[in-house]
Amino acid sequence: MSLTAFAQTTNSKIPKSYIAYHTADSIKVDGKDADASWNKVEWTDLFIDIEGVKKPTYNTQAKMLWDSTYFYILAKMEEPHVWADITEHDAIIFHNNDFEVFIDPTGDTHNYYEIEINAINTVWDLFVSKPYREDNVVLNDWMATGMKSAITIDGTLNNPKDTDKGWMLEIAIPWSVFKKAYFEENVPKDDFWRVNFSRVNWDYQLNDGAYGRKKDAEGNYLPEYNWVWSPQGVINMHEPEHWGYVYFSSKEAGVKDTFEIPNDEKIKWALYELYRAQKTHFEAHAAWITSIEKLSSSPIIVDGKTITPKLENHGFGWTISVMSPFSNKLLILKEDGKFIIK
């Protein structure tokens, strides 16, 4: 499968994919990888910096499993100085080193979920109606009700007198927290969701023997490091079209399955390139491009087939649409970035 010859910008990265296998075993959420099912599945690739260019200072990897109740995530983080001091739920957790989970069940880049957890298991969970590039609503009081999380530290917490090896985080997120209606059947058996993980890491300084974010000579905090599973191409986790693909296989952990990103998804990547071109033009000229010929100067070719998008202008904005030659479905991208399949 290939995606070639579309107007690819420097921030275009092929998303990662992972097969999350079903587990029939009971998973004890204790921050350890001792459960038999964890030992039957592979780690993700090592995380890369958010732009997909630099190798991070410390290694990070994750594993995933699922059953009829939970989506399980195991994260292993190399860290010589494990520290955390934020204890209030829904505080700004990324002001500590943390691990972050981003989940878009429908893959339309709207109505997605973010969970952040630091090394003392303080949680920030929130619902985001649209990416921040649009006029969005963020529900900070959304709760991942019933979520379980636990941490183990290979070393000593908040102790600058020794060198640690790192910390491990285990999470079980109930499918029920993603349901839009009581009777909705939303467990993605033999289906994929868009998911990404980010690890925020700070340079530190000691203040009276306590860890804190490092400041420069002017007293400003040094910028954080963002290390991710699937590269974003830009320093922004809130571009969900770049997130990875997690396929929830009905096969049991230990049995091999295969997954290929569908060609319709590759068409979607190309349409988001056009969306970004529209946004860039609007920021510069306060007007949208109204001709597909001016918007798309190169052909879009997916798996040997030429894709011809159609641009329609409306009083409220525009839509770009394509009839997929692979699924015969109509793929639509709106001016607010929402992706629709009909």
Give the 3-state DSSP-derived string for 195-240, with helices as H, strands as E and coil as C.
Answer: EEEEEEECCEEEECCEEEECECCCCCECCCEEEECCCCCCCCCCCH
pLDDT of residue 296: 84
172 DSSP β-pair partners:
72, 148
- Coil, strand or helix at 264: helix
One-letter identity of residue 179: K
| Average of per-residue pLDDT values in the chain | 94
Does the pLDDT at position 2 exceed 60? no
285 Cβ partners below 8 Å, 6+ apart?
none
Per residue in 103-137, pLDDT (tens digit) is: 999 999 999 999 999 999 999 999 999 999 999 99
314 Cβ partners below 8 Å, 6+ apart?
none
Mean pLDDT check: name the lowest of 11-20, 24-33, 141-150, 193-202: 11-20
Per residue in 49-78, pLDDT (tens digit) is: 999 999 999 999 999 999 999 999 999 999
Does the pLDDT at position 94 exceed 80? yes
Mean pLDDT of 34-42: 96
Structure-token pair, residue 245: 């693909």
pLDDT of residue 309: 95
CA–CA separation, 65 and 247 (whole Å) = 10
Burial of 229 (0-12, 13-18, 19+ CB in 10 A): buried
Residue percentage of the chain with pLDDT more than 90: 92
Provide the CB-side half-sphere exposure for 39 (13 A, CA). Answer: 6
> 314 versus 44: which is more confidently predicted?
44
pLDDT of residue 12: 61
Structure-token pair, residue 270: 């190309």
CA–CA separation, 2 and 147 (whole Å) = 38
- Identify whether the C-beta of residue 229 lies closer than 8 Å to the C-beta of residue 16: yes
Per residue in 133-188, pLDDT (tens digit) is: 999 999 999 999 999 999 999 999 999 999 999 999 999 999 999 999 999 999 99
pLDDT of residue 6: 38
Does the pLDDT at position 4 exceed 60? no
- Identify whether the C-beta of residue 248 lies closer than 8 Å to the C-beta of residue 189: yes
pLDDT of residue 299: 83
Does the pLDDT at position 93 exceed 90? yes
